[in-house]
Amino acid sequence: MKKFLKIRLKKNKSKIICLTTYSKNIASIIDKHCDLVLVGDSLGSVLYNFSSTKKVTLDMMIEHSKSVRMGVKKSLMVVDMPHNTYRNPKEALKNAKKIISKTKCDAVKLEGGKKVFQTIKTLVKNKIPVMGHLGVLPQSAKNFKFKGKKITERKIILRDSKLLEEAGVFSMVLECIESSLAREITKTVNVPTIGIGASIHCDGQVLVTDDLIGLNKISARFIKRYLNIKKQINDAVLKFKKDVTQNKFPTKKHSY
């Protein structure tokens, strides 16, 4: 519970760092710098080229999470519950218990507000920590336009943020929410908000690591690429190819 307390205490004080990962190797690197590590169902598009996250299965999430767990020592590890695994409280409880028991993660994340209110309450009552998710909801979104421009939309999202807090989430992701609304939610709720395309006004930020390092092709306004890892991989492979074709590799040093 100390990890959760550390996250809560960062509210309005210092920024929370969160990145997604799907494997041990990346997890072991980002773990040193993150407060939260998220095994996101974004792996559907990033790794499997799915058109949406709806095709991601529970088994996929569990297997990738087991790999990530081996690389996470410090951060709080959160796993996305995939589409159609929490349609009602009973189903959610069964699947959340399965995720936690098989992956040893610290918490699960659910998308939605009022619709999942009772489900989240049930999970929290059964001592399963939950991270919420509002704004653009990839598991159900018909389009990926930012949310909160219309007054009616703003009121619903603000209401849902209060409901998530009431239900017992320890934090919530705000995805592609209009800046002033993100600021209002962050000031209104007592739990930390983690933004992605939701301005600097949130208590923390999350990005898909593959986007951050330039490994993924996706183009979105909220993405900032800090590295062109594709070029570095390409350069390394070309050097390997050159060494092999010119009989420079393997040398005696690399042979038995």
Tokens matching residue 27: 């997890």
Q: What is the dihedral of CA 242, 248, 254, 256, to 10 degrees?
A: 120
| DSSP state, residue 196 | E
Give the three-class secondary structure for 210.
helix
> Catalytic annotation on 166?
no
Catalytic-role residue among 111, 153, 166, 175: 175
β-bridge pairing 171-175 and 130-135: parallel
CA distance 177 to 195: 8
Is there a contact between 164 and 192 (Cβ–Cβ < 8 Å)? no
CA distance 89 to 82: 14
Tell me which amino acid residue 39 is.
Answer: V
Is there a contact between 122 and 168 (Cβ–Cβ < 8 Å)? no
Q: Which of 5, 66, 13 is nearest to 186 (CA)?
A: 13
CA distance 134 to 158: 9
The vertex-149 CA angle with 113 and 226, nearest 5°, equals 85
The vertex-69 CA angle with 88 and 25, nearest 5°, equals 130
Residues identified as active-site: 175
